Amino acid sequence: MFPRKNKTINRWAAFLALCFMLVFATIFGRFVFLAEAKEVDGHDLVKIGKNNWTQVKVVDAERGKILSRNGDVLARDVPAYDLYAVLSHKAPSYVKDKEKTARELAPILKMKETDILKILNKPLYQVEFGVHGQKLDADTMERIKNLHLPGIGFIRDSKRYYPNGTFASYVIGFTNHLDDADKEVGVLGIEKSLNSYLTEQDGLIKFYSDRNGDILPDGVKDLKKPKNGDDVYLTIDRRIQTVLEDAMDRVYEKYDPKRMIAIVCDPKTGAILAMSDRPTFDPNERNIQGYTNDAISTPYEPGSVMKTFTLAAAINEGVWPGTQTFKSGAYEVKDGRSTVATIHDWIRNWGTITFNDGFIRSSNVAFSIVEDKYLGPDRFYKYLERFGFTKKTGIDLPKEADSRINFKWHTDQVMNSFGQASAFTAIQIVQAATAIANDGKMMRPYIIQKVVDPNSGKTVLAHKPAVAGRPITKETAEKVRELMRKVVTDKNGTGTRYNLKGYDVIGKTGTAQISMNGQYLTGEDNYIFSFLGMAPKNDPKLVVYIAIDRPHLKPLQAGSEPVSEVFNPVMQNALQYLKVEPTQTDATDHAAQKAVRIDDWTGKPVDEAVKALAGQGLHPVAIGNGTVRAQLPQPGVSVLPNTKILLLGTGEERMPDITGWSLSEVLQLSRLTEMETAVTGDGYVVSQKPAKGAAIGSGQVLDVKLKRPSGAAAKDE
């Protein structure tokens, strides 16, 4: 017999069921209401939901690259990392041992332990380390990661990187974080003048996400594509610039001058192939002393280099008294102030010589007479205008300075003829020289080849050769070049130190006095020594101008020595690189006899090429085995004995031992193997990555450290 159900339990069950039904009906009704009304208390629920689900992320773009005319990257963005430390105990990982953390981070960040401890003891959830912890490179980041310090993390960022250090630093410039958008902004050089082209535009992506922040299928709501900055191609030639930088470094260290200026120009087009100043700086370190590119922004008295253009003016006007004679030594000039100024030659015992000889010997008296008695101030000033000395050249670099011309008094007018009284910039001198080299046609200098949009491949800006004027005739230019050649070859010429064996260099020396507070400095070292050279004589392919301000010379040492130690290697290397055939082949030309013409070894066995080149007294370097598929220097170039000849084989490429190599040789290797180059220091290679024998390939980074020899080694060098 079954027990009867308790009526009380049945009643409670019915009551509870009714309550649940009422609650369910209420909630369901609320959902129905919200679904129809889509708002509560005046708040749009759909909008709130979309805001909660929607995320916006920045898609980083890159600042445009700066490249040489050969396509070598001179400036680019690379990954960087900002260091932070989590201090809150509520975080999953936080700094537990502050003393240990400070002790191990200090040497890496180059900070004091006490300064790091002050940061780590702040009552904050998370801290950063200021400039010491910002923009860290990948190697530094990995060193810190390997310490396995709790609470230490990184935020990925990017920074501007200049792989060649001091290479053309005043031309390229550098960037800094200056604007509210926290973007890199150019503050010097091309980085500044073309900042609007180089600046990138970051993209944005707006999407619906799940609770983990992951994008939902078909969840992209809006997309703004990133746009990388435009790439800038310069006329700078990496090979020529590298040789110039090496020579400038050696001379700057050896003679400790106040400053140095060097420009290499293609006179046919006006393209600047190399430009450098000393002192210089590394844009990665930003150890900059001054923000002036002296090559374009600092006018100074050019000295006797100016006689080249006075000579050209007189020849062009038909008044050059070339074979006539004058008494050298001193010349008196009266000006409108009833005063008499006496102009002296730098050597006063030449006696009576011809005006042609006056140019060869660099006589101030000769050119004072020519300006005073033959040309006259009015005609002479017109040629200052025609040669571009009275206005800026218009070169495409920021902060070009104008000349400072003193032409009021007769003494100033006469002194202008031999390079005193007025001040000009080095780039004005180079522009004027293109007229001598280019048969009377003067070319405007330029350094920006083109600007390319990397997103579309289209050229958005292109600079082409532009004629700045025709100050003289072709016949005049030829006559000037004849006399400039004698400056270098004649036994009485002031430029014999620049007579390169194998090439008919022409030029004019300059020794300019330095004026301070209205008075010229005295002393054997207080001059600006310079040389304006071209080669070859009949059809110059290069104009090279070097000026060195107050080098420290030894007793009886000529000011032309430091200048020639820059000019000679630059001109010789550049002519060989440009495949300009030597022009002197006489029996006394020992350098031409020793020069070796490189054969074409492509398609032939590497072993055979190595053996043959070694037999010619050269230094072959094999990169890979099999047959030769590329070589540097290229076939047909004449080089000196023991020159390194790089041979790239068809087999697996292996890294050679490059210890002791110069930067120019390293760059040849990277060019041949298509490796990226990261260089620190200057001088010669003391360490390398990849190591000797390691497999290498295109796109790989060749990381080298250079160091200049000291003590006896430096003297031998």
pLDDT digits (tens, 9 = 90+) for 592-623: 445 678 888 888 998 888 888 888 888 899 99
411: DSSP letter = H
Q: Which of 29-38, 212-221, 512-521 has the lowest mean pLDDT?
A: 212-221
pLDDT value at residue 515: 79
pLDDT digits (tens, 9 = 90+) for 449-467: 999 999 899 999 999 999 9
Residue 707 has pLDDT above 80, yes or no: no
Residue among 686, 609, 697 nearest 651 (CA): 697
Q: For tokens 């990954």, name the residue.
A: 79
Q: How many CB atoms lie within 10 A of CB 337?
A: 10
pLDDT digits (tens, 9 = 90+) for 139-193: 898 999 999 999 999 988 788 899 999 999 999 999 987 555 567 889 899 999 9
Token pair of 713 as six digits:
């080694």
pLDDT value at residue 55: 58
How far apart (Å, rounded) are the C-alpha atoms in residues 281 and 289? 8
pLDDT value at residue 338: 64
Token pair of 349 as six digits:
């015992």
How far apart (Å, rounded) are the C-alpha atoms in residues 279 and 298? 14
pLDDT value at residue 667: 79
How far apart (Å, rounded) are the C-alpha atoms in residues 566 and 545? 10
Residue among 276, 420, 438, 426 nearest 362 (CA): 420
Strand ranges across the sheet with 215-224:
54-59, 203-209, 215-224
pLDDT value at residue 41: 57
Spell out the residues 6+ positions from residue 368 whose beta carbon is closer than 8 angstroms to its own. 331, 333, 343, 414, 415, 417, 418
Distance from first CA to last CA of the chain, Å, rounded?
122
pLDDT value at residue 712: 27
Q: Phi, psi at residue 43, to the nearest 5°?
A: -100, 130
Give the residue-averaged pLDDT of 260-285: 96
- Cα dihedral across residues 162, 166, 172, 173: positive or negative: positive
pLDDT value at residue 180: 53
Q: Which of 14-18, 316-320, 499-503, 643-647 has the lowest mean pLDDT?
A: 14-18
pLDDT value at residue 440: 96
pLDDT digits (tens, 9 = 90+) for 306-316: 999 999 999 99
* Number of alpha carbons in the 13 Å side-chain half-sphere of residue 234: 31
SS3 call for 241:
helix
Residue 588 has pLDDT above 50, yes or no: no
pLDDT digits (tens, 9 = 90+) for 392-433: 999 999 999 999 999 989 999 999 999 999 999 999 999 999
Active-site residue flag, 304: yes
pLDDT value at residue 710: 43
pLDDT value at residue 182: 64
Kind and range of the H or E element at 315? helix 307-316
Question: Judging by DSSP bridges, how do beta strands 619-623 and 644-649 pair with one another?
Answer: parallel
Higher pLDDT, 587 or 484: 484
Q: Percent of the chain beyond pLDDT 70?
A: 86
pLDDT value at residue 682: 61
pLDDT band at 101 (very low <50, low <70, confident <90, very high): very high
CA distances from 541 to 67, 437, 575, 614, 658 (A): 23, 8, 8, 31, 32
Residue among 683, 680, 678 nearest 660 (CA): 683
Token pair of 563 as six digits:
């200048």
pLDDT value at residue 303: 94
Give the residue-averaged pLDDT of 236-247: 94
pTM given for the model: 0.74
Answer yes or no: are the C-beta atoms of 340 and 402 closer than 8 Å: no
User: How many angstroms from the chain centroid is the CA of residue 27?
Assistant: 72
Instruction: Kindly tell me the burial class for residue 28, based on how many C-beta atoms sit within 10 Å of its own C-beta (0-12, 13-18, 19 or more).
Output: exposed
Mean pLDDT of the chain: 85
pLDDT value at residue 587: 37
Give the residue-averaged pLDDT of 317-344: 88
Answer yes or no: are the C-beta atoms of 343 and 335 closer than 8 Å: no
User: How many angstroms from the chain centroid is the CA of residue 441?
Assistant: 28
Which of these is catalytic: 68, 158, 304, 417?
A: 304
How far apart (Å, rounded) are the C-alpha atoms in residues 421 and 655? 57
How far apart (Å, rounded) are the C-alpha atoms in residues 159 and 175? 9
Give the residue-averaged pLDDT of 33-52: 54
How far apart (Å, rounded) are the C-alpha atoms in residues 263 and 397? 14
Residue among 302, 310, 307 nearest 261 (CA): 302
